[in-house]
Chains A and B, each alone.
Chain A
Amino acid sequence: MSKLGLITKGIVKDNPTFVLVLGMCPTLATTTSAMNGLEMGLATMFVLILSNIVVSLVAPMVPDKVRIPVYIVIIATFVTVLQLMMQAFVPDVYETLGLFIPLIVVNCIVLGRAEAFANKNSVVDSALDGIGIGIGFTLSLTVIGIVREILGSGSVFGWKFIPGDGILAFVMAPGAFMVLGYLMVLFNKYLAKK
């Protein structure tokens, strides 16, 4: 597979949210606005790229039996690094995403890519796969965030263009499920046509 293909695969064919349907917890919980979705996506992408690189480096040396513990320790390390960095340099963002940053450790996407891709492929390919899946996840979360923010608060990225309150349900959990469901239908319909 070409290098470019590795990246686009993560965005379209193997889109983590709409096709693989992985990592639903942060997807549903943090996408109350476009900005929150974008920030959560970027945070996950950071961990994903680094953990993919390190896992592909150490994979040949790790015995099969302790494979999963080793991957989880590596992922948890990067998540903690990210958490401390965010607390130090972007405390506002850290406050909004709060609990969902440590939860990246158990995000299926990150362990999934380590297990399904990084431990069988070269460092460069794994990094590209991390970038692709990361961009796919970030874009999906941002799109869900944009739709929910327009319907729920009448604004995009905090820029308000519809006065008033918007449809409350879309800011809350039920709206997250509805938006995700409809976007999934649209996305897969588009994929099936191709």
Chain B
Amino acid sequence: MVLCLTAVCLFCSAVLAVTYAVTKAPIAEASQAKTNASIARVLPEFNGNPKLSSITVGGVEYPYYQTESGIAVLSTVNGFGGPLSLMVGIAGETPEVFNTVVLSHSETPGLGAKCVSENFSAQFRGWDPAAKKLQVKKDGGDVDAITASTITSRAYTLAIANAVEAYKAIAGSNEEGGQDNE
């Protein structure tokens, strides 16, 4: 009885070990390709060699990818149904949002989940936070919220606003230490 169970478990472990070894490289590649595809969507002229760093603003850590044309900041906030994770591409001296992409979300299908669609996210393209307020119209800002999904729209907007803050902090720290860094 013990012998049989041990034998089965040993055999299964062996099968799993082999599968893991075979699929390890393709899985890493697939996840890297996905990251690259997201960066290419949120930033102009992406050369395919992102450098991952992170910065802490207001006690929250923001991982970001520095590229030649701008910075892709990963920003996560609480949405309606759970964490809402965005990648926000920001570029320029007066920070301007180039594009945003949803990495993961658990919003309500048919309502908040529409935040993934172009209808909503296109408005953030070329958004200048200095000229237009990053808040939904209900709260006195300039963002068109998704109908019946104000909480999701607020979260999305907040994630972008946070990313802009992170971008400013990154730009600030680059200037300060610019001379000393190699």
Binding site for B on A (CB under 8 A): 32, 58, 61-63, 65-66, 69-70, 73-74, 76-77, 80-81, 84-85, 87-89, 91, 152, 165, 168, 171-172
Instruction: Identify which of B24-32, B84-92, B160-168 touches chain A.
Output: B24-32
Looking at the assembled complex, report how far the CB atom of B117 sits from the nearest CB atom of chain A, in whole angstroms.
11
Beta-carbon contacts of B101-130 to A below 8 Å, as 1s and 0s?
A: 000000011110000000000000000000
Given known A77-B12, A171-B109, contact A84–B1 (CB-CB < 8 A)? no
Interface of A is mostly: helix
Residue in contact with A70 in the complex, picked from B4, B26, B27, B30, CB distance below 8 Å = B4
Interface of B is mostly: helix
For chains A and B in complex, what number of residue pairs have CB atoms within 8 angstroms? 59
Verify A87–B4 contact, CB threshold 8 A: no
Q: How far is the CA of A74 from the CA of B15 in the complex (A)?
A: 10
Given known A66-B1, A74-B12, A172-B109, contact A89–B19 (CB-CB < 8 A)? no
Given known A32-B109, A91-B31, A168-B110, contact A84–B8 (CB-CB < 8 A)? no
20 A–B contacts from the bound complex (CB under 8 Å): A32-B109, A62-B4, A63-B4, A69-B5, A73-B9, A74-B12, A76-B12, A77-B16, A80-B16, A80-B19, A81-B19, A84-B23, A88-B23, A89-B26, A89-B30, A91-B31, A168-B111, A171-B109, A171-B110, A172-B109
Verify A172–B23 contact, CB threshold 8 A: no
Looking at the assembled complex, report how far the CB atom of B116 sits from the nearest CB atom of chain A, in whole angstroms.
13
Given known A89-B26, A165-B110, A168-B110, contact A81–B5 (CB-CB < 8 A)? no
Residue in contact with B27 in the complex, picked from A69, A87, A152, A165, CB distance below 8 Å = A87
Residue ID in chain B nearest A63 by CB atoms: B1
Q: How large is the interface on B (under 10, 10 to 19, 20 to 34, 35 or more residues)?
A: 20 to 34
- B138 on interface, CB distance cutoff 8 Å: no
